[in-house]
Structure formats: C-alpha cells, structure tokens
Chains A and B, each alone.
Chain A
C-alpha cells in the first residue's frame, strides 16, 4: 500500500483564519480524497481531487470554504477557510490504489490532521 503523510499533524487556529493541510504520497496515484471526521463522528467525504482537473465536491461542501489543489500525482492540499469552532475536526486524505492486484480499488488513508478552532 502507499505511504501517505500529512502536515501538520495538528493545529490550533483562531476564528476567521485559514489552515492549509498538505497530503504527500510516496507513489503516483490518480485519485485523492479529502474526508472530515467531526468529534465522535464517522467520516464524511469533502471532495475528490484529480490531477489536472477541478476537485469534485460533495453536497454540503463548497470550493470557497474548502479550496483544494492537486498540482501533481503525489501531492494535494486542502485549505479550510474562514475558520469557525464548527470546523474543529480531523481532516484525512486518502488515495485510491491501482485497479489490479489483491487490494485493487481500495482507499488508504493518511494519519489525519487534528484541527481545533478557538
């Protein structure tokens, strides 16, 4: 499986500011995803990030609040803008493995970024 890293691992931010989270993969992948996990909750997909095209956002998530970049096949960023305490969550990136092999078409996750907004 791919090795995925995220920066920062955690941060505490003030209301009204923004935080950019980086996701780095050790191999080229076509599809990357950003999920949000609110405290005590399950994971919800924010958007799908494909290299060379605009990210595809899920219902309830908008580009102005969660801009995403995908400059190449190993890297993506998620920015959470105009922070409010309701944005306090764990943000996780994931990647989709290639379509062949025993673990084909499986998503693997990064270690997550814990964001606290004061």
Chain B
C-alpha cells in the first residue's frame, strides 16, 4: 500500500524568505503523480503544484517549485519570496497512474506553515 509522510507538523518563515516543506512516500509503482495542495483557514483545498513521476524535470509554478527525487521517494516543496497569503496547511498527495482503475489521492498528514510579517 502507498503511504505519504510529512515529518514537519509546523513550520514558520519570515515574509520574503524561502521555506522548504518535506514529503516522502512509499510505493512500488513506477508511474504515478505527486501533488501539493494548500488549505488556508477558509478550508478550500487549492492545488499548488503537480509532478508526473516519469518526468525528470522538477515542476515549477511561479514562486513554488519542487525537488523530486524519485529514487529517494522524496518530493519537497520550495516556496520562494514567502507572502502572508501563503499561510496555510500544506498537504502532499500521491496518486497512481491513470492507467490504473483507481484515482484515489493518498494524503500526508500535512504541514502547517505560518508566514511571519
């Protein structure tokens, strides 16, 4: 069974600085997707970034980038130039390739990020 582990329950960062959130996962699959979702106090789950396992290039979305290490099964999220609006719970999620019949997202336990002014 696949598992997703986020070992940092809480983190804080000064506004405008850079922070990295860690995520590791366990799977025997070769093809899969990895995601980072953000959940602010409004509780809306917002997609931050998406990575396909067969792509070696790390995904980037503006100030957000990932460090995807497939052999190490590591998928960390780097937030550059942190903004107050980045304060939220961040969830790492895993999904098997769409060739499989299940589209189930498996979530980590989350990291609560506080951006300090």
A residues near B, CB below 8 A?
1, 31, 33, 35, 41-45, 48, 58, 90, 92, 94, 96, 99, 103, 105-109, 111-112, 114
State whether A90 and B107 are in contact (beta carbons under 8 Å apart), knowing that A42-B91, A43-B91, A106-B50 are contacts in the complex: no
CB distance from A27 to the nearest CB of B (A): 16
Q: How many A-B residue pairs have CB under 8 A?
A: 54
Known: A103-B50, A111-B44. 11 other contacts (CB 8 A): A33-B105, A42-B109, A43-B105, A45-B104, A48-B104, A105-B98, A106-B35, A106-B47, A107-B103, A111-B42, A111-B43
Chain B residues with CB under 8 A of A105 = 33, 95, 98, 103
Chain B residues with CB under 8 A of A33 = 103, 105
Chain B residues with CB under 8 A of A42 = 91, 107-110
Q: Is A109 within 8 A of B44, CB to CB?
A: yes
CB of B45 within 8 A of chain A?
yes
Chain A residue with minimal CB distance to B33? A105
CA distance A23 to B103 in the complex (A): 19
CB distance from B29 to the nearest CB of A (A): 15
CA distance A41 to B42 in the complex (A): 15
CA distance A94 to B105 in the complex (A): 11
CB distance from B92 to the nearest CB of A (A): 10
Chain A residues with CB under 8 A of B98 = 99, 105
Chain B residues with CB under 8 A of A103 = 47, 50
CB distance from A38 to the nearest CB of B (A): 12
Chain A residues with CB under 8 A of B107 = 42-44
Q: Is A92 within 8 A of B47, CB to CB?
A: no
Interface string of B40-70 (1 = CB under 8 A from A): 0011111100100000000000000000000
CA distance A117 to B45 in the complex (A): 23
CA distance A59 to B45 in the complex (A): 23
Interface string of B82-117 (1 = CB under 8 A from A): 000000000100010010001111011110000000
CB distance from A91 to the nearest CB of B (A): 11
Chain B residue with minimal CB distance to A10? B43
CA distance A99 to B103 in the complex (A): 12
